[in-house]
Amino acid sequence: MATFQRARSEEQREIRRRAILDTAAAMLDEMSVGSVSLNELSRRVGLAKSNVLRYFESREAVLLELLDHHWRQWTAQLPEQLDAAIAPDAPVLERGQAFAAVLTRSLAQNRVLCDLLSAQAGVLEHNVSADVAARYKRSAIENVAALAALARRHLPELGDRADWLCGQAVMAIGAVWTHARPSPSMLAAYETDPSLAALRMDFTATLEEMLATLIAGTLTRAEG
């Protein structure tokens, strides 16, 4: 556990902020978003909880900043993967299916991002000020736009609908991730009565099919 003297310069304050973010990121490698507490974060970073709150107004504010970081990092890795998987001269639906497959495979390897996205609207956007909420939402709009630019690059037929599509895709990611991770009680119920598992989701298979269907439907509407 690190210990700190009072930060007296802007550089020291930034070092402190970075330490808090890095510590929270390390916790997310070990546990779910719901298990990250401000008390444990404070203990690990070596600060009183009141001092952590000097730099971030709440646990949710810390996690929103980490969500933005992971989202940007994920988007930055996509161009190479998409270029390798999508043939420019392939039929549009084939390109759409490949686009959905790349996004799904990359997300399946990024548990932290999926966990943060699934908590975004219901948890992380609460217990923050309007200023923090607005700052995060501006970043989210930029992140959706960056994903939409990649969609238009490989699926130019989408036109202006690429931004709408990618916004819906992000919501689908969080929703499928949540439903694909049932609670221990639900798993026990499935084991007792397998018929209850009719709507149980596999994250990879469900998300890829959902994204491919969303892309195909958006392409059809764009043609119209």
In one-letter notation, the amino acid at residue 190 is Y
In this structure, what token pair is assigned to residue 1?
A: 């556990």
Structure tokens at 219: 């392409």
| 46 CB burial (10 A radius; 0-12, 13-18, 19+) | middle
Torsion of the alpha carbons at 62, 66, 67 and 72, rounded to the nearest 10:
150
pLDDT in tens, 53-111: 999 999 999 999 999 999 999 999 999 999 999 999 999 999 999 999 999 999 999 99
Please name the CATH architecture into which domain 1-56 falls.
Orthogonal Bundle (1.10)
Predicted local confidence at residue 32, as pLDDT:
94
- The pTM of the full predicted model, rounded to 2 decimals, is 0.91
The pLDDT score that the predictor gives to residue 14 is 92
Q: pLDDT value at position 10? A: 82
Domain ranges within the chain, ordered by starting residue: 1-56, 58-223
19/188 Cα distance (integer angstroms): 40
Which stretches in the chain have pLDDT values below 50? 1-4
Helix (H) and strand (E) counts for the chain? 10, 0
pLDDT of res. 223: 84
CATH of domain 58-223: 1.10.357.10
Q: Is the CB of residue 196 less than 8 Å from the CB of residue 190?
A: yes
